[in-house]
Amino acid sequence: MGSFFVDLLSFDHEVAVYDTEPRRMRFLYNTQRFTALDEVDAFDPELVLNAVSLKYTLAAFDDLMPHIGRDCILSDISSVKTGFREYYEQTGHRFVSSHPMFGPTFANLGDLSRENAILINEGDYMGRIFFRDLYTRLGLNLKELSFDEHDETMAYSLSIPFVSTFVFSALMKHQDTPGTTFKRHMKIARGVLSEDDTLLREILFNPHTKPKVEGIRTELKQLLQIIDDRDEEAMTAYLTRIRKNIQ
């Protein structure tokens, strides 16, 4: 996603990229490439977009602090925001946080009209205006949430599908004659499991994830009981209830 934002911003803004692994910058176009943090001093950015994985996001900000001015806006695109508000507030910097809800695995980056983005409604007003305009120009469906609301939403929209995919994959065995539903699930599973382990870990370690996983366990227990009892009425009632959830 860092490369995506470089491509997106570099024609309208002066952009520079810093990476601890220079090889990852070799295909970036129309941007300055920094291999040492000291190079950031002269560049004097107005906004820093932190696109490293969640495990290293706050540490990367810490490393960068001595090299940016007090007026520089801090920003992130992390998939989990726990502790970010408190961190930003103690830095004394203005900040803006967002989450583009798409990636190269499934999204068509040439047409994002069916994709979504979340903009945190806390932080610097002008920073929010910048990202609101940016996401609107991309045609994204934009939702504004608080830090807490964002993480709660991620537990629903990412944690539940990820865990369901893990269970499907854990029970997987070769199928010579897979049905249509099986093939669709397989495509999703391959896409999810092609993601970086760090991203998957970020989503599952969201503090709001555990209650959702416990909810899956509760539903499975109820379904198993219905199957054990071969209770047709209970199965019909169960299917009627869950169909209402996806209408």
Ranked by mean pLDDT, the top range of 21-25, 59-63, 206-210 is: 59-63
Predicted confidence band of residue 27 (pLDDT cuts 50, 70, 90) = confident
- Whether the pLDDT of residue 52 is over 70: the answer is yes
Predicted confidence band of residue 106 (pLDDT cuts 50, 70, 90) = low
Tens digit of each residue's pLDDT (9 = 90 or more) over 182-217: 999 999 999 889 887 887 888 898 888 999 999 999
Q: What is the DSSP string of the chain?
A: -HHHHHHHHTTTS--EEE-SSGGGGTT--SSEEESSTHHHHHH--SEEEE-S-HHHHHHHHHHHGGGS-TTPEEEE--S--TTHHHHHHHHT--EEEEEE---TTT--TT--TT-EEEEESSS-HHHHHHHHHHHHHTT-EEEEE-HHHHHHHHIIIIIHHHHHHHHHHHT----SS--HHHHHHHHHHHHHHTS-HHHHHHHHTSTTHHHHHHHHHHHHHHHHHHHHHT-HHHHHHHHHHHHHHT-
**Tokens 């990820």 belong to which residue?**
162
Q: Are 146 and 121 in contact (CB under 8 A)?
A: yes
Tens digit of each residue's pLDDT (9 = 90 or more) over 158-172: 889 999 999 999 998
**Tokens 């993480």 belong to which residue?**
151
* 79's tokens: 């998939």
Q: Are 132 and 119 in contact (CB under 8 A)?
A: yes
Tell me the whole-structure pTM to 2 decimals.
0.80
Q: Are 14 and 94 in contact (CB under 8 A)?
A: no
The more confidently predicted of residues 119 and 27 is 119
Strand 95-100 relative to strand 73-76, pairing: parallel
